[in-house]
Amino acid sequence: MAHDWYKDAVFYEVSIRAFADSNDDGIGDLAGLTSKLDYLKLLGIDAIWMLPIFPSPLRDDGYDVADCCAIHPDYGTMDDFHLLVQEAHRRGLRIVVELVPNHTSDQHAWFQASRDPQHPEHARYRDWYVWRDNDAAYRDARVIFIDYEPSNWTYDDLRGQYYWHRFFHHQPDLNFDNPEVQRAMMRTLQIWIDAGADGIRIDAPPYLFEREGTSCENLPETHRYLKRLRALVDAYAPGTMLLSEANQWPEDVRPYFGDGDEMHMNFHFPLMPRIYIAFAKADRSPIEWIMARTPALPDNCQWGTFLRNHDELTLEMVTPEERSFMWDFYAPEPRMRLNRGIRRRLAPLLQDDPDQIRCISSILLTFFGSPFLYYGDEIGMGDNIWLEDRNGVRTPMQWHNGPNAGFSGGDVPADRLYAPVIDDPIYGYRRVNVAAQEQDPASLLNWTRAALQVRREHPAFGRGDLTLLHPESKAVFAYVRRHAGQSILAIHNLSSSRQEAVLDLGAYAGRGLENLLTGDVVTVGVSGLWTIPLSRYEFLWLKVI
């Protein structure tokens, strides 16, 4: 099998807790996901990225890991994981598992031993975390969860010292200057490869090392360690994909790809909010601006692109003006805002406007990189901003219009579910659910299935180069993807009003263009100048024939 499978893949991000509950305890589980693999296969995705599945007090939805090498009992057993992998592979689907190297839960046995001088294993684990007598060090490092944490240091009574944490105070950072810690994470990686993972998402990689006088992000030491992880993967299980989550500017992300010897993929964080700004202003310029700043990647590397994920829509990689604009436009109510971002799902961000949702999704599916869909967005699920933290975008998947939306059995009392099912008039499960959309040929679900099918048939979308076109109307966003002799033109109207796109297609004068979504064919005139009327949020995928 090709080692660079991730270049053609469409990923589906899923929270195990939220997807399907197989044993009616109100919590989604691995067996539940396994039972829905046919749904995902039919949807047309290639790989499933699972949020953390490990034992955890779940104060950060599992990113507070209490044991890196086991399964949370709510979600099942290692056998359930093996069965999931086996059934996924049988269908040609791949599984991506989380590795959270930067920190653990304060409940992890390593931290318990580290903080407690009386602990029988204290001597061994004493230096596994970053301890100091005071909170003076690393003052140049920003606080990330600014709505919750006043400092990156927290005092521990038992040890009588401060420990370092980039995220919640209950998530102490591991000390990567300790070779034992470095080895422990490499072992963890091997354990999940042995268990069958095809890819590993590396959580929060920029923060592994700390150095005085720096922002403690993207340090050379961190890159050296990530290269060692990659070398391990290449030697131990070539073809295992490493996906890093460096939420950074393109020039700071570029080193995470190294010379093709570090991470295979990294998310393109700064692109995402600019796609939303482009729609809000009906102006493609913000996307052009970030593309001009986006460096080329080594051949074996790929960007990961996304519109939404399990976190707040992060506004860290924008200017203060852009952030204010995004907040005013997309998060007018204070509850919609969180940290430096917006806790809303795709459909509510776009006022449940089917034309606009399809148009923005079309950009995700045709632009460069490999797209990541977030569970539930394929049916236009809503959010619940009244839930704490980011839980409002992690509510139960809406399978049908019966009790509990089909997430748990119908007899399970609603208050036993880990979170309430969305039940409002617009986004509620009675109206928005998989079963209803399967029956409706015009549904978002069926559109997504069709679009993914077309994407799969055309490697140019995953592998092609990208040339932006520059029609006069800024509301028109058009580009050509080219790969192995195939050229595909994607044209989008970013505005809610009719546009005329005048494109200079001189290179294709006299050639036919096949509309990949409708099958229609048009011919480009000999002049090469082509005027295309576009209705509100209309988009075209045109293959040069």
Contact between 21 and Ca ion by CB under 5 A: the answer reads yes
- Residue 29 interacts, among ligand GLC, Ca ion, none and using kind-specific CB cut-offs from 5 to 8 Å, with Ca ion
- Residue 383 interacts, among ligand GLC, Ca ion, none and using kind-specific CB cut-offs from 5 to 8 Å, with none
Report the SS3 class of residue 271: helix
Which residue among 13, 21, 60, 74 contacts ligand GLC (CB under 6 A)?
60
Contact between 35 and Ca ion by CB under 5 A: the answer reads no
Between CA 364 and CA 362 the distance in angstroms is 5
The interface region with Ca ion, picked from 18-26, 298-306, 411-419, 514-522 by CB under 5 A, is: 18-26
Contact between 418 and ligand GLC by CB under 6 A: the answer reads no
Between CA 407 and CA 20 the distance in angstroms is 5
Token digits of residue 336: 């919609």
Q: Binding pattern to ligand GLC, positions 228-257, x when CB under 6 A?
A: -----------------x------------
Tell the smallest beta-carbon distance from residue 31 to ligand GLC (Å).
Answer: 24
Inter-CA distances, 474 with 468, 471, 536, Å: 12, 7, 14
Contact between 423 and Ca ion by CB under 5 A: the answer reads no
Residue nearest to ligand GLC (CB): 63
Between CA 160 and CA 133 the distance in angstroms is 8
| CB 544 within 8 Å of CB 483 | no
- Residue 27 interacts, among Ca ion, ligand GLC, none and using kind-specific CB cut-offs from 5 to 8 Å, with Ca ion
Inter-CA distances, 140 with 41, 130, 211, 221, Å: 46, 16, 10, 17
Between CA 458 and CA 489 the distance in angstroms is 12
Contact between 23 and Ca ion by CB under 5 A: the answer reads yes
Q: Binding pattern to ligand GLC, positions 307-346, x when CB under 6 A?
A: ---xx-----------------------------------
- Residue 25 interacts, among ligand GLC, Ca ion, none and using kind-specific CB cut-offs from 5 to 8 Å, with Ca ion
Q: Return the exposure string of 2-33: e unless at least 16 CB atoms fall within 10 Å of the residue's CB, then b.
A: eebbbbbbbbbbbbbbbbbbbeeebbbbbbbb
- What value, to the nearest 5°, has the Cα angle with vertex 13 and ends 12 and 18? 120
Contact between 204 and ligand GLC by CB under 6 A: the answer reads yes
Tell the smallest beta-carbon distance from residue 75 to Ca ion (Å).
Answer: 8
Which residue among 4, 25, 135, 283 contacts Ca ion (CB under 5 A)?
25
Contact between 106 and ligand GLC by CB under 6 A: the answer reads no
Bridge partners of 337, per DSSP, are: 342
For residue 91, the one-letter residue type is R
Tell the smallest beta-carbon distance from residue 408 to Ca ion (Å).
Answer: 7
- Residue 203 interacts, among Ca ion, ligand GLC, none and using kind-specific CB cut-offs from 5 to 8 Å, with ligand GLC
Strand (E) or helix (H) holding 468: strand 465-468
Residue 406 DSSP class? G
Count Cα atoms within 13 angstroms, Cβ side, for 507. Answer: 10
The residues near 74 (Cβ < 8 Å, ≥ 6 apart) are 17, 25, 27, 29
Which residue among 13, 29, 80, 389 contacts Ca ion (CB under 5 A)?
29
Nearer to ligand GLC, 17 or 481 (CB): 17
Strand (E) or helix (H) holding 99: strand 94-99
Site for ligand GLC, residues 275 to 304, rule: CB under 6 A: none
Nearer to ligand GLC, 128 or 167 (CB): 167
- Catalytic site positions: 203, 245
The interface region with Ca ion, picked from 4-12, 25-33, 300-308, 435-443 by CB under 5 A, is: 25-33
Between CA 351 and CA 28 the distance in angstroms is 28
Which residue among 6, 19, 63, 539 contacts ligand GLC (CB under 6 A)?
63
Tell the smallest beta-carbon distance from residue 28 to Ca ion (Å).
Answer: 6
Strand (E) or helix (H) holding 230: helix 220-236
Count Cα atoms within 13 angstroms, Cβ side, for 325. Answer: 14
Which residue among 9, 27, 263, 478 contacts Ca ion (CB under 5 A)?
27
Residue 311 DSSP class? S
Question: Where do contacts with Ca ion occur on this chain (CB under 5 A)?
Answer: 21, 23, 25, 27, 29
Question: Where do contacts with ligand GLC occur on this chain (CB under 6 A)?
Answer: 60, 63, 100, 167, 203-204, 245, 310-311
